[in-house]
């Protein structure tokens, strides 16, 4: 695939804006649409063209990428009256990089195929840092030959690109990713709470443990933010809860108990009850502070 391929990009949130910009900087012509116009204005500043609807994006694009909030949002921008499928030509490739239900993904792929549109589900992991640096992990479901056609686009956004199986498989692997992210997050905040209450320097604890068997992305990237009292979202509690809801719904269908995941879901619900829905997922530390009667966040942070 040459850089003359026209790319449509729908969804310019914390991650989408950086991903679209990386495609532009790799030389691909990019046309964007976002529900909030101000984010399209930001994209215009770095060189993107803009459209008035997902349908218009599809009309001027060879490949359309979507990364929006939840399953109903994807269904609307793809299959709605002014959606991608209303404007896509046969042969268009649709790549959904959102995190949504695997079952909904398979249904959308079938609708797309009925119109001659080839679809991949390609959710990502790596947060705002990975999106900005172009180092995302990309989990791909769909036909492998279609993946090979768009691989140059994926390589502009990520470093670990894995074909996981047919449509829906990418979303299933992303669900696995979110299970582990949630449990790593809980492990991190429990360790920070334990260290603080025992009187150990938190920065030194993080320095040592990130280099050993206990190391994780959460500890290395979110641990220092907690110590500084920075609860700004690289990935928000609200979206993590959406992902865990998908996980738990799929686990119910599979008759599979996920005790740890359910516990993280309930603890993050406590963060939401305290008004922290838009904070980063590491705001889970605030609940641990209350449960353990321990002060970890610097005074005045997280307000």
Chain centre to alpha carbon of residue 28: 22
Residue whose tokens read 């359309």: 64
Q: Are 125 and 174 in contact (CB under 8 A)?
A: yes
Where do we find the tokens 């686009």? Answer: 153
Tokens of 65: 């990428």
Rounded Cα distance, 138 and 121, in Å = 10
Angle between helices 16-25 and 144-157 (to 10 degrees): 90
Question: Could you give the residue numbers annotated as active site?
Answer: 174
The answer to whether 136 touches 125, Cβ cutoff 8 Å, is: yes
């Amino acid at each position: 695939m040459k850089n003359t391929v026209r790319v449509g990009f729908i969804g310019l949130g914390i991650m989408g804006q950086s991903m679209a910009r990386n495609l532009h900087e790799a030389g691909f012509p990019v046309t964007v649409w976002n529900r909030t116009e101000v984010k399209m204005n930001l994209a215009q500043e770095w060189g993107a063209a803009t459209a008035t609807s997902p349908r218009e994006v599809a009309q001027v694009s060879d490949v359309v990428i979507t990364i929006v909030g939840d399953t109903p949002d994807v269904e609307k921008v793809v299959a709605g009256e002014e959606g991608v499928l209303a404007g896509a030509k046969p042969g268009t490739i649709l790549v959904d990089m959102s995190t949504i239900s695997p079952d909904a993904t398979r249904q959308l792929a079938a609708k797309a195929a009925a119109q001659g549109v080839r679809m991949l589900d390609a959710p990502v992991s790596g947060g705002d840092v990975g999106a900005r640096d172009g180092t995302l992990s990309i989990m791909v479901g769909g036909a492998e030959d279609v993946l090979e056609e768009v691989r140059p686009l994926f390589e502009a956004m990520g470093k670990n690109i894995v074909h996981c199986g047919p449509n829906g498989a990418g979303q299933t692997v992303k669900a696995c990713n979110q299970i582990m992210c949630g449990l790593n997050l809980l492990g991190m905040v429990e360790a920070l709470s334990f260290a603080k209450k025992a009187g150990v320097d938190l920065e030194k604890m993080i320095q040592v443990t990130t280099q050993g068997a206990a190391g994780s992305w959460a500890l290395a990237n979110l641990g220092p933010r907690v110590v500084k009292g920075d609860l700004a979202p690289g990935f928000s509690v609200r979206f993590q809860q959406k992902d865990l809801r998908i996980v738990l719904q799929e686990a119910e269908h599979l008759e599979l108990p996920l005790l740890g995941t359910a516990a993280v879901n309930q603890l993050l619900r406590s963060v939401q009850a305290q008004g922290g829905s838009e904070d980063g997922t590491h705001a889970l530390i605030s609940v641990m502070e209350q449960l353990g009667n321990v002060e970890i966040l610097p005074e005045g942070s997280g307000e």
